[in-house]
Amino acid sequence: MINNSFEFSSDDDSDASPHDMEGNSSDLEGGTTNMNGLSLNSYSSGLQTQLQRDLDRQHLLSDRPRAGIYENVISEGIEGMEHQERYERLLRRAQVEDLTEVSGIGCLYQSGVDRLGRPVIVFCGKWFPAQNLDLEKALLYLIKLLDPIVKGDYVIAYFHTLTSTSNYPSLHWLREVYSVLPYKYKKNLKAFYIVHPTFWTKMMTWWFTTFMAPAIKAKVHSLPGVEHLYSAITKDQLEIPAYITEYDMATNGLHYFNPVPTAS
């Protein structure tokens, strides 16, 4: 079941950013394409089925009689309390369990701060073995790393460079993660950069920000290359694996983007 937690929709405190989502509608209308030479037909077919189910659910919710609104508010309040209790249990586990299985992979870590002094969280999609990893421990490591950070503003840089379908977690797991993360994670996230986006990431972004997280829609920015990040994050504060910069230079060239100097 999809957790329709739309209580965050009124809180749109995203940054005014020079980065915009690039070509999402045209890419989605164009159908399934290849990602780094890999066919996405089978994965996209399942995703499209889930999208249709979500659309049908939204129609049912919109047709629900207003007489049940009060009961729905109480139900969502109780559900929110249950999620908070579950998060606190997971946080306690994250602080005591051995999570070296996940931390040793190096796919998720903090890398300096952006130009406004906010912590930058880096996630490397290629290094996330979604099909061969204990996803419960992955969630625990995510909580352990982010819980002290999300008490204030922060940004995320997700590198989709050279990922394959084996790196994609299930939609069920993504919904589960989002539903258990408290409000501070959504509110204090100020920007979510997707570097080297593909059809899959744009489709997933559309689905996720439409049905799960409308409040962060304006905070998501798709960037075609690493250097586009430098207007928000200085180069010395961005620590990323060599394969990302090598791919970037092979694809975009050595000097393809000159960030606009910031006012001193």
pLDDT at 7 over 70: no
Rounded CA separation 189/112 (Å): 16
pLDDT at 63 over 50: no
The residues facing 159 across adjacent strands are 124, 195
Rounded CA separation 138/198 (Å): 24
**Confidence label for 110 from pLDDT (cuts 50, 70 and 90):** very high
pLDDT at 87 over 90: yes
CB 244 within 8 A of CB 223: no
pLDDT at residue 23 in the model: 39
CATH superfamily of 93-252: CRAL-TRIO lipid binding domain (3.40.525.10)
Q: Where do the domains of the chain lie? A: 93-252
Instruction: Tell me phi and psi for residue 248, to 5 degrees.
Output: -60, -45
What are the counts of helices (DSSP H) followed by strands (DSSP E) for the chain? 9, 7
pTM for this entry: 0.70
Nearest to 197 by CA among 159, 238, 235, 153: 159
pLDDT at 29 over 70: no
Nearest to 40 by CA among 174, 209, 228, 198: 198
Residue 29 has a CB neighbour count (10 Å cut-off) of 7
Instruction: Report the chain's mean pLDDT, rounded to a whole number.
Output: 77
- Convert the pLDDT of each residue in 132-171 to its tens digit: 999 999 999 999 999 999 999 999 999 999 999 999 988 8
pLDDT at 93 over 60: yes
Ranges assigned E (strand) in 15-129: 34-35, 38-39, 108-113, 119-124
> If you average pLDDT over each of 55-59, 167-171, 209-213, which comes out highest?
167-171
